[in-house]
Structure 1
């Protein structure tokens, strides 16, 4: 089934995904309710303006700080367990917040600390939830699943604050915190019913795993293109969320209830976007959908900046909501489809960090600009920035990985070794010798470029392709790996797409390439009489 032919609601046909999605939607609503309750409670506690502002910081800062470690954890540990642990932490923090509020023991420091704890749980959850999409629905439905997830966030953004404001006014913030605690139970119950298939255990350590994710993103041209479009989009689009309250209050003369209606218009647009995205992707592809969405959002920002009637602002916000979800979900889906399973949570953490970082930087920029002008000016500047970003997309398109086979490759033979190295031995120098007829050399050199990128994505350092000055047909590929254990990991990380690139280049050689594995001389010197030491070993040349 083609993604473009499927309904935008198709992922809901899969029971596990549906249960987790409903749990996430409930949790999102509770989170937005808590934000309103915490902000009003801080005001009731006579907190300073800085302390009131720090409530938002306590919610968002953990996502920026912990995105990469959380993504690494999601690739090292069973993802279902991470979901359960993160929601358990959020539940405990929300219960503690409700209890201290009901008992009257709450103060500004405690409020910020417990709000930060809830933010920590959210930071742990986000990359893992994104990474499990391909485990729960077929790959062709991942864009639809991402779109529905984005719609749930926008719907919660529209509904949550309104419900939270009503509950705070009627019963007090403690009941908002209690309701938020109950919302985490929905995710816990859904995750507990998920019977996840056993996955191969990762041998990575946390620090190395974090850098492996960053390294993969840097060495993947398609992932770099996604990130390169995501950051400017988030930077300019953040003007909508940063300045909408000022537009509502100062330009349209609305109160908090009117502001809630404007957010509702964004939510309506988001749901309309969910319906439209499958057809847009089928007709325009991922890049066309992203480019059109960014352009529409720019026009909507300009309309919001100049609107003097509420109905005009609400109409523009409906288009803004649809454009926002189309751009974010399409960029997210493109990132998901270029990431193999072993690095998916880490790669998506890089994506989330780029998206959140762009929004955080943009909010500060547009807020500072609005401080010395009226909201109209920064909104128009942001609209122009989105127009430029859309234009750049025409010449530098985003490409997903639907055409890549990212399943693990198992075609490599095991190295033939005289001694079995200890895992910590290193660094390891790998060389591959190719004899290439002169007529095939231009095609060979071009074909080795994706091979080099694949090696770097999997963990190789200092990859190079050399040509022998004494032999016109001899090429030598070299790369370093910090240890023998990491070399074995590099081999396990190769995908069928990587293997296809390598076979295409090797087919141009006159005969089977010759591979050698060498360790640092100081490590090899520890070997005595053909016996490996505790920390060193070496290997002869072998063919694979």
Structure 2
């Protein structure tokens, strides 16, 4: 489960990200709660989330082209420094009492601009830290890292918001970027796995899109993660509304929801780290479960039942994320990985500027229950549709048979199903031959 941590460079990277991710989660919680406090509007929270992910939608593919051209380690040092400055600036505005909602909008957009390059760079840099047979494990541990921080960050943010104010959460986030920058500087360059960088040339963006479009094992997981990221992962919008409007429990409940979801997400990440391969059928099954659980949670009658449902939602959501991420990385040529992962993250994160305001408006107009259920229904429908497409592309067909008096449904090769049908017919004929003949009176 933790084999990648034996590699020194990856271990440094992992430890640096632990500290930074805690700060990131603290800022996310503080940012959403600050906007809600300033405006009283779930739509405004959705706009903040949208502005943070809008740059990925607009410029994500160009970020991937840059990542394929640039050395990853110096690039990450620059992007981490940019995000540190943004966090410290927002902390200064909040602590001095001069913060306005447009300041938060601007900070969210600035972080999004840095993320355009930072995200594909971090995703593809992992392949330079570990051997190919350790990539699945390293990607899963990165997700476990992020979700572990999600356990600590919201809890600390909740204490800070209620105790000393949101400004200190922003301040800690700014300081937290010192850890990953120090880790990058301490790495041994000779132990990095060299990846040939793409030369500067025309048509590289189009080349990346054409590369993905010709491979069903890439395009359909990306399509699925796009629908789920756009409509199913708008938790800052709906969870803040549940805490404030449905259960009237304040920032503590919002922090609790995020913490319990992180417990599930961490569990899902560790289970993914144990698996040897990323299977597309696991991706589709987890996506169906994720959507269905959101629909169930939408109409939970009590705070504690709603909170407990965050755990299985976290498990299913993280399984979707890790399985899609790993399957796409493993199926991509290293020279194209920056552009492909930029497309992956653009679709996953960049869809949020489209989905967050929509879900925010539905939440304001019809209530948080309808907003959450809407995302769950879209996620479930997308998972079922993509599952059927992948089955058809792979020459699979649904097979339903009775086994010991119980129905058994599975995907089998079309020729296997034909053989199975012939066997069933033959078994019936053999049974008829063995039946004793009885004569009438």
Fold shared per TM-score above 0.5: yes
Structure 1's 221 and 43: CA in aligned 2 closer, same or farther, altered over 3 A?
A: closer
Distance 2:167 2:377 in 1: 43
Structure 1's 253 and 48: CA in aligned 2 closer, same or farther, altered over 3 A?
A: closer
Matches within 5 A, 1:74-153: 74-99=67-92, 112-153=105-146
Distance 1:398 1:180 in 2: 44
Say which of 125, 141, 152 aligns to 1:159: 152
For the Cα contact (< 8 Å) 1:31–1:160, is it kept in 2? yes
For the Cα contact (< 8 Å) 1:286–1:398, is it kept in 2? no
Matches within 5 A, 1:95-494: 95-99=88-92, 112-194=105-187, 195=189, 196-205=192-201, 208-238=203-233, 240-278=235-273, 286-397=279-390
Structure 1's 375 and 78: CA in aligned 2 closer, same or farther, altered over 3 A?
A: same
For the Cα contact (< 8 Å) 1:272–1:322, is it kept in 2? yes
For the Cα contact (< 8 Å) 2:144–2:269, is it kept in 1? yes
Across the two proteins, how many residue pairs are aligned to each other?
Answer: 388
Secondary structure, in 3 states, of the residue corresponding to 1:202? coil
Structure 1's 251 and 321: CA in aligned 2 closer, same or farther, altered over 3 A?
A: same
For the Cα contact (< 8 Å) 2:32–2:236, is it kept in 1? no
Structure 1's 345 and 258: CA in aligned 2 closer, same or farther, altered over 3 A?
A: same
Secondary structure, in 3 states, of the residue corresponding to 1:132? helix
State the shift of 1:280 in Å. Answer: 5.7
Unaligned regions of 5+ residues in structure 2, if any?
393-441
Distance 1:270 1:390 in 2: 19
State the shift of 1:83 in Å. Answer: 0.5
Say which of 45, 56, 64 aligns to 1:71: 64
Distance 2:88 2:253 in 1: 31
Say which of 46, 54, 70 aligns to 1:61: 54
Q: Deviations over 1:354-403 (max 9, x none)?
A: 1123344333333333333233334334433333333334433389xxxx
Q: Which has the larger radius of gyration?
A: 1
Secondary structure, in 3 states, of the residue corresponding to 1:91? helix
Unaligned regions of 5+ residues in structure 1, if any?
1-6, 400-544
Distance 1:107 1:308 in 2: 36
**If each structure's helix is expressed as a fraction of its own residues, which one has the higher value?**
2
For the Cα contact (< 8 Å) 2:140–2:270, is it kept in 1? no
Matches within 5 A, 1:22-37: 22-37=15-30
Structure 1's 111 and 287: CA in aligned 2 closer, same or farther, altered over 3 A?
A: closer
For the Cα contact (< 8 Å) 2:144–2:266, is it kept in 1? yes
State the shift of 1:278 in Å. Answer: 4.6
